[in-house]
Amino acid sequence: MTLDSKIPDAPLQDMWRDHKFNMKLVNPNNKRKFEIIIVGTGLAGASAAATLGELGYRVKVFTFHDSPRRAHSIAAQGGINAAKDYHGEGDSVWRLFYDTVKGGDYRSREANVYRLAEVSNNIIDQCVAQGVPFAREYGGFLDNRSFGGAQVRRTFYARGQTGQQLLLGAYQALARQVAAGTVELITQSEMLELVVVDGKASGIVVRDLVTGEITSHSAHAVVLGTGGYANAFYLSTNAMASNVTAAWRAHRKGAYFANPCFTQIHPTAIPSSDEFQSKLTLMSESLRNDGRIWVPNDPDETRAAADIPEADRDYFLERKYPAFGNLVPRDVASRNAKEVVDAGKGVGPLKNGVYLDFADAISRVGKQAVDDKYDNLFEMYERITGEDPFTSPMRIYPAPHYTMGGLWVDYHLQTTIPGLFAIGEANFSDHGANRLGASALMQGLADGYFVLPYTIGDYLAPMLGQSKVDTSASEFAMAEQAVREQTDKFLKTNGTRSVDWYHRELGKIMWDHCGMARNRAGLEKALSEIPALREEFHTNVRVPGSGSSLNSSLEKAGRVADFFELSELMCRDALMREESCGGHFREESQTEEGEALRDDDNFAFVGAWQWQGLGTDPALHKEQLTFDNVALSQRSYK
Amino acid sequence: MNLTLRVWRQAGPDAPGRFETYQATDVSEDASFLEMLDHVNESLIESGEEPIEFAHDCREGICGTCGLMINGQAHGPERATATCQLHMRKFADGDEIVIEPWRAAGFPIIKDLVVDRSAFDRIVEAGGYISVDTGSAPDGNLIPVPKEVADTSMDAAACIACGACVAACPNGAAQLFTSAKMQHLSVLPQGQPERYERAVAMVDTMEEFFGSCTNMGECEAACPKGISIDFIAMMNKDYRKGLMKTRRSA
Amino acid sequence: MATKVTGVTEGSPPSPGGGRTRRPFLLELYGSAVGKKYVMAITGIVWLGYIFAHMVGNLKIYTGAADFNKYAEFLRTGLLVPIVPEEGALWLMRILLIVTLFLHIMAAYQLTVMNRNARPERYQARREYVAADFAARTMRWTGVIVLLFLLYHIADLTLGWTNPAAAGSTPFEKLVASFEQPLVAAFYVIANLALGIHIYHGAWSLFQSMGWNNRKFNHWRRAFAVGFAVIVIGGNVSFPLAVQFGLVG
């Protein structure tokens, strides 16, 4: 099968408008004849469910959480970009598009990114109308900040809780539709199979996490807004339950998985304090505006940070990148931190971090000013570590944070399975090899509010008059059987080790070999270790309890099983991509100064993988990327 | 550090519950409270027992999934802190810690320490939104919002719906949650058209599930986001006005 | 889990609260717990006003029996006369007080039942309260004590049933006769302390229940409640003590 991205044949600026006109429409009175299943209630899923409900479709929305509002979009701190140019700085849709393509290191699709930039302004309007309490200036108008090194102020924010507020906006819109009866909300139910009938996505099989009941649900189309897969690394900034299961089960049913190796490592998380740490907490990237990053020169340094004289400190980012200093992009900052820690110069009890020092800023503007500027971040740091960052520097270290890869989708956000759509972080589109700050929220809401509701109509319109596949079809019975078998198998294995133990071990392999820097030998090693560990997992895991009540071990077992298979694909993809770009750094492909070196001649493509069965190598399909509007150039931050 | 835990175990909604005693050994001071429970659960799994079920997810104090009654206090002894952000250095070696689920008629127990908080969703569905269809919004800067108003709205909107207010309230009342969800919208210009209908609908739904407010202030003290009970007063006023206004439009 | 079953409605979604059935405003208000708190607050305000005026009026025992008796007589025969007939205002006031007291107690009872049902299973471990003070947690008990005291107070000084003074005594004589008994004086003091605790929480709480909220004056609410309770109870407690210590009589 060749990949058809269905990019309309029109100039970039007119493309989405023209395409909206050209797409088939479903008459408002006919919309109620179509049923749509949406899995996931984060920014993308909730906004899509609400909008489709408003349009009149009959929507069933599923979440494994106890409420739609718990989705991990809620944890995003920084903000959301839009090309409003409210400050007259020369921002525009074109500039946001340009920055996003460049920031993604030229591995994203121009058409999708342009559309994203185009609808960014509608998102802000919509959210304001919903009552999202964005920060305001004294005149009552919307406030903005510059974020992630952008040269214009285009980031809208609601304190340090922008994701929370945007999600609540979408959740409230969803709640309105639930009350109106257009959307049926099904909580604490996890999608465990996609059902494909006659080549089309026709429904899903879910397990009720409270009662253990396994049920089938059919619809005319299925939409996955199920988030990213950074938890493959075990320790990440993702929530504990964030998982790849829905996307992966769809992949196993034929949806291609694109660019799995494109993962983003965020430079400013709090380093883990012991082996039993369960997750990493992010500190806002904005701290790098005032904090200076350094490590001691001497790996055997034992003095407290404040007692180490200037001469014995290495401000490695300022030294290597005099122009950008501590504000180099996320991937550069992360890799350099790894380098010094690997060289034994890490700080803290486990020597697994670098200092982020505010002493200069405090002596320049005063403690109060620093505290005010960073709101509650200093307090949050102290709460977690027990150290006062006003007297000793913060310790930070990179952490897996976001995954640019995901299910391959065309311009319609449709996967390679007709009728199956993927939105938000679950798809691969828009961010290329690296996501810019404050763009994740933008993409999730763009897909859910302003893209999918149009494109799904184009798929549904020709199906008018066809009823959805009945759940009595044999495909549903088979899918239910597969879920039941897997559940039973986990409960019966009765091995010696917990699910978490295997997840931690998998995470270590991934972090060591498929983390911030990758090389052939490491990836090949990982590719031999992961299947072995996976085998052991399936024969030696211990899942206590029963399948007929709440059983978090059982839930996790299914998710970790999928992470095992995905991790292998991530390594395979990283091995295939013999270049460095964005968040993917192959040590073999770097400039003389140690910077990422792209290979546009050979790797300017999207790598979409087709499942061929466990133990069989997946097939790689390439979608060639063309850059007609943004000239390819090498990034430089010297 | 070593601790003795007395944990509420309950197999299901209708099953009888009881306290079980567990020893948590070699707990790191830097561990969070939930990591300490993870640690206990690992050893329970090793010895073939069912681990303690507790709700949790983001572990950075924003998703509102976690919530335990720790030594008789919702979210434990530290103020303005969700359970996941509580760290073991706040306890002393040898302490006994009693852990119970939230208890309220509106929050039936699902298993062990996990409760069903879907009543909160019902309250929001009753009117905790602004009726605006996607695509019909005017430019974001068309409605100026005074900074003070936006800040007040955000103070209320910070609610994470963890349920600590209900758990801590001696009356099992959800006034703080409901008023926060309501006033977040009702102080904003965008929230005015539906302000009073919203107040009546949300309060009426709230009272189907929860108790009534006797102004004790335990909710505010337990709230991990420090939401003020001022919002309850604002809700009461809107409710009274709402009853008047809905009559007028009849 | 928690599948929401709703009939699929077509057309525009409802606005919040649309389609409510409407009853008369006061019934509708009383039908809700928030409304019952309004009732408690409003009836509480009536009683706070009464208790305050009662205390101020009684201060006349310090200016002599004649003043005090004259004041008592005025309440019966002078208040609002001739707009209303003699004793008319007194009876209006009595009816208002009885009705508001009844509503206050009924609302309290119904809310208590509701709140007990809101947590059918108590916490099994000891609660550790942070904000709820003694006054807030004991409203029901101080309320019951005050009610019993009130009944005795009426039997003692209004109706004279339990008063040791001879029939036909002046109000001042009845008061002194009553407060000369140490047990009665002690009961008055204790009951008034309970009343003080009750009105301290009430005087603060009513602002919340009435929705009187303004950041500019909110911080005065506690001070008002404390000041009000101290002044009223200070005055009230002084009467039996003054009699006991022979300052009045």
Q: A51 at the B interface (CB within 8 A)? A: yes
**Domain end marker among B111, B141, B162:** B111
Which of A35, A57, A176 is most worth mutating to test chain C (most C CB atoms within 10 A of its CB)? A176
Largest Cα–Cα distance in chain B? 66
Distance CA A217, CA A214 (A): 10
> Same domain, yes or no, for B122 and B107?
no
Residue C11 pLDDT greater than 50, yes or no: no
Domain that holds residue C58: 27-117+135-244
CB contact under 8 A, C115 and B214: yes
Span A313-332, pLDDT tens digits = 999 999 999 988 898 878 88
Distance CA C158, CA C178 (A): 12
> Which chains neighbour B (Cβ–Cβ under 8 Å, 3 or more pairs)?
A, C
Q: A204 at the B interface (CB within 8 A)? A: no
Residue B249 pLDDT greater than 60, yes or no: no
Distance CA C109, CA A107 (A): 69
The pLDDT-based confidence of C7 (bands split at 50, 70, 90) is: very low
> Same domain, yes or no, for B180 and B150?
yes
Residue A373 buriedness (CB in 10 A; 0-12 / 13-18 / 19+): middle
Residue C100 pLDDT greater than 80, yes or no: yes
**Structural domain contains residue C154:** yes
Answer for the pair A336, A295: CB distance below 8 angstroms, yes or no. Answer: no
Distance CA B74, CA A380 (A): 20
Percent of chain C with pLDDT over 90: 80
Tokens standing for residue A542: 């211990």
Residue A260 buriedness (CB in 10 A; 0-12 / 13-18 / 19+): buried
Alpha-carbon A395 to chain mean position: 25
Span A392-439, pLDDT tens digits = 999 999 999 999 999 999 999 999 999 999 999 999 989 999 998 899
Distance CA A235, CA A237 (A): 7
**Average confidence (pLDDT) over A99-126:** 96
Q: State the nearest Cα–Cα gap between C1 and chain A, in angstroms.
A: 6
The pLDDT-based confidence of C20 (bands split at 50, 70, 90) is: low
Distance CA B236, CA B243 (A): 11
Span A276-287, pLDDT tens digits = 888 999 988 888
For B63, the closest of A74, A137, A175 (CB atoms) is A74
Query: For residue A182, which residues of chain C lie inside 8 Å, CB to CB?
Result: 8-9, 13
Percent of chain C with pLDDT over 70: 91
> Same domain, yes or no, for B155 and B74?
no
Of B157, B154, B155, B160, nearest in space to B57 by CA: B160
pLDDT at B246 (0 to 100): 60
For B28, the closest of A128, A273, A553 (CB atoms) is A273
Query: For residue B128, which residues of chain A lie inside 8 Å, CB to CB?
Result: 172, 175
pLDDT at C21 (0 to 100): 57
Q: A549 at the B interface (CB within 8 A)? A: yes
Which of B10, B33, B62 is most worth mutating to test chain A (most A CB atoms within 10 A of its CB)? B62
- Minimum mean pLDDT range among A134-148, A501-515, C187-201: A134-148
Q: C13 at the A interface (CB within 8 A)? A: yes
Q: C2 at the A interface (CB within 8 A)? A: yes
The pLDDT-based confidence of C3 (bands split at 50, 70, 90) is: very low
Q: State the nearest Cα–Cα gap between A632 and chain B, in angstroms.
A: 34
Residue C13 pLDDT greater than 70, yes or no: no
CB contact under 8 A, C1 and A54: no
Tell me which residues of chain A, numbers 303 to 332, contact chain B at a CB-CB cutoff of 8 Å.
none
Which of C1, C23, C119, C207 is most worth mutating to test chain B (most B CB atoms within 10 A of its CB)? C119
Query: For residue C9, which residues of chain B lie inside 8 Å, CB to CB?
Result: none
ipTM given for this complex: 0.97
Q: State the nearest Cα–Cα gap between A553 and chain C, in angstroms.
A: 19
Q: Is A211 helix (H, G, I), strand (E, B) or coil?
A: coil
**Structural domain contains residue C91:** yes
Q: Is A630 helix (H, G, I), strand (E, B) or coil?
A: coil
Largest Cα–Cα distance in chain A? 77
Residue C165: which CATH number?
A: 1.20.1300
Q: State the nearest Cα–Cα gap between A457 and chain B, in angstroms.
A: 16
**Average confidence (pLDDT) over A183-202:** 98
The CA distances from residue B180 to A269, B184, B216, B225, C45, in Å, are 31, 6, 17, 11, 27
CB contact under 8 A, C6 and A208: no
Distance CA C51, CA C176 (A): 20
Answer for the pair B102, B95: CB distance below 8 angstroms, yes or no. Answer: no
> Which chains neighbour A (Cβ–Cβ under 8 Å, 3 or more pairs)?
B, C
CB contact under 8 A, C218 and B230: yes
Q: What is the DSSP letter of A345?
A: I
Q: State the nearest Cα–Cα gap between A208 and chain C, in angstroms.
A: 6
For B140, the closest of A66, A124, A278 (CB atoms) is A124
Contacts of A212 (CB under 8 A, 6+ apart): A487, A546, A547, A548, A549, A551
Distance CA B229, CA B220 (A): 6
Tell me which residues of chain A, numbers 50 to 69, contact chain C at a CB-CB cutoff of 8 Å.
54, 56, 58, 66
Taking CA–CA distances from A448, the nearest residue in chain B reads: B134
Residue B62: which CATH number?
A: 3.10.20.30
Q: Is B37 helix (H, G, I), strand (E, B) or coil?
A: helix
> Same domain, yes or no, for B73 and B149?
no
> Same domain, yes or no, for B95 and B126?
no
Q: State the nearest Cα–Cα gap between B197 and chain C, in angstroms.
A: 5
CB contact under 8 A, C4 and A210: no
Taking CA–CA distances from A50, the nearest residue in chain C reads: C13
Residue with tokens 């299914």: A558
Query: For residue B197, which residues of chain C lie inside 8 Å, CB to CB?
Result: 15-18
Q: Was domain A268-401 assigned CATH 3.90.700.10?
A: yes
Residues of A forming the active site = 330
Residue C240 pLDDT greater than 80, yes or no: yes
Q: A211 at the C interface (CB within 8 A)? A: yes
Distance CA A514, CA A571 (A): 6
Span A56-97, pLDDT tens digits = 999 999 999 999 999 999 999 889 999 999 999 999 999 999
Distance CA B119, CA B210 (A): 9
Distance CA A129, CA B138 (A): 8
Q: State the nearest Cα–Cα gap between C10 and chain A, in angstroms.
A: 8
**Domain end marker among B111, B129, B160:** B111
Query: For residue A279, which residues of chain B lie inside 8 Å, CB to CB?
Result: 59-60
3-state DSSP helix/strand/coil % of chain A, to nearest 5? 40, 15, 40
Answer for the pair B73, B80: CB distance below 8 angstroms, yes or no. Answer: no
What rounded mean pLDDT belongs to chain A?
95
Which of C1, C5, C9, C20 is most worth mutating to test chain A (most A CB atoms within 10 A of its CB)? C1
Largest Cα–Cα distance in chain C? 81
Query: For residue C32, which residues of chain B lie inside 8 Å, CB to CB?
Result: 203-204, 207, 239
Residue C14 pLDDT greater than 60, yes or no: no
Residue A551 pLDDT greater than 90, yes or no: yes
For B48, the closest of A70, A239, A544 (CB atoms) is A544
**Average confidence (pLDDT) over C209-229:** 94
Span B103-116, pLDDT tens digits = 999 999 999 999 99
Domain that holds residue B202: 118-248
Query: For residue A380, which residues of chain B lie inside 8 Å, CB to CB?
Result: 85
Tokens standing for residue B170: 């001696």
Residue with tokens 């949650």: B177
CB contact under 8 A, B207 and C33: yes
**Average confidence (pLDDT) over A615-622:** 96
Instruction: Please tell me the total count of domains within chain C.
Output: 1
* Torsion sign (Cα): A294, A298, A301, A307: negative
> Same domain, yes or no, for B44 and B71?
yes
Q: State the nearest Cα–Cα gap between B187 and chain A, in angstroms.
A: 10
pLDDT at C12 (0 to 100): 43
Residue C4 pLDDT greater than 60, yes or no: no
**Average confidence (pLDDT) over B199-213:** 97
Answer for the pair A214, A206: CB distance below 8 angstroms, yes or no. Answer: yes
Residue B235 pLDDT greater than 50, yes or no: yes
> Same domain, yes or no, for B182 and B221?
yes
For C16, the closest of B104, B116, B198 (CB atoms) is B198
Residue C249 pLDDT greater than 80, yes or no: no
Residue C9 pLDDT greater than 50, yes or no: no
> Same domain, yes or no, for B89 and B165?
no
Domain ranges of chain A: 268-401, 474-610
For B56, the closest of A171, A240, A453 (CB atoms) is A240
pLDDT at C22 (0 to 100): 65
> Same domain, yes or no, for B95 and B135?
no
**Domain end marker among B111, B137, B169:** B111
Q: A208 at the B interface (CB within 8 A)? A: no
Residue C26 pLDDT greater than 50, yes or no: yes
Residue A149 pLDDT greater than 80, yes or no: no
Top-level class of domain A474-610:
mainly alpha
CB contact under 8 A, A54 and C13: yes
Distance CA C199, CA C143 (A): 9
pLDDT at B77 (0 to 100): 96
> Same domain, yes or no, for B102 and B46?
yes
The pLDDT-based confidence of A1 (bands split at 50, 70, 90) is: low
Residue A275 pLDDT greater than 80, yes or no: no
Contacts of A378 (CB under 8 A, 6+ apart): A370, A371, A389, A390
> Same domain, yes or no, for B93 and B132?
no
What rounded mean pLDDT belongs to chain C?
90
Residue A258 pLDDT greater than 50, yes or no: yes
Distance CA C56, CA C58 (A): 5
pLDDT at A277 (0 to 100): 87
Written as one letter, the residue type at A419 is G
Instruction: Please tell me the total count of domains within chain B.
Output: 2
